[in-house]
Amino acid sequence: MRGLIATSLADARFGLIILVLAALLAGCADNTPAPVVTETPTLACAGPVPCTPPEPRASDRFAQQRALWAQPVLFDTDKTTIRADARPIVTRVAALLVASPGTRVIIEGHADERGTREYNLALGARRATAYRSALIAAGVSAGQITDTVSYGKERPAVAGSTEAAWAQNRRALVSLQE
């Protein structure tokens, strides 16, 4: 008898959950064709229940931000001038930092494998400083950039001794401080 009552209660709970979910979904019904989603999904809902996309988890947001901020600014051989094609990256990273005044970052400078260790460390430091200066000029607080560091040729992004590999290794990038 007790098993029968427990089963009936479980069935009733399950039915109630289904009923609530159906009511919620009915409140979000819309007769317009579904839009083609290319980037961020948006929900248009009618009815008494507001439909909002779920907030991404903090770890997901952090991973997304890290990916945006970690885009490298590439440099020409033996140069520390930020190239024109890298300006949009600097602008985007600066906007993210200005919008997140509590965020602290370190700027890393890198070089390709050619040249001595000492030369590449100095070149990487100058590239990190150039990126820092560009971010500050774009409105980032100097206090948000806690350090610049040079790895020279010690941490290549791409292995290999080709011009294509070297071009990817001549870079500076923002590293989020956790």
Tens-place pLDDT, residues 96-155: 999 999 999 999 999 999 999 999 999 999 999 999 999 999 999 999 999 999 999 999
Q: pLDDT band for position 7 (50/70/90)? A: very low
> What's the confidence (pLDDT) of residue 32?
44
Helix (H) or strand (E) holding 152: strand 145-152
> What's the confidence (pLDDT) of residue 170?
97
Portions of the chain given CATH number 3.30.1330.60 = 58-176
> What's the confidence (pLDDT) of residue 43?
42
105-110/73-74 β-pairing: unpaired
pTM above 0.75, yes or no: no
Between CA 57 and CA 11 the distance in angstroms is: 33
CATH of domain 58-176: 3.30.1330.60
Residue 20 has pLDDT above 60, yes or no: no
Contacts of 158 (CB under 8 A, 6+ apart): 164, 165, 168, 169
> What's the confidence (pLDDT) of residue 129?
98
Between CA 93 and CA 69 the distance in angstroms is: 6
Between CA 49 and CA 28 the distance in angstroms is: 7
Between CA 120 and CA 58 the distance in angstroms is: 37
Q: pLDDT band for position 164 (50/70/90)? A: very high
Q: Facing residues of 147 across strands?
A: 106
Q: pLDDT band for position 70 (50/70/90)? A: confident
Rounded to an integer, the average pLDDT of 22-26 is 44
- Model pLDDT for residues 28-68, shown as the tens digit of each residue: 444 444 444 444 444 444 445 444 445 555 556 656 666 77
Buried b (16+ CB within 10 A) or exposed e, 68-86: ebebbbbbeeeebebeeeb
Rounded to an integer, the average pLDDT of 1-12 is 48
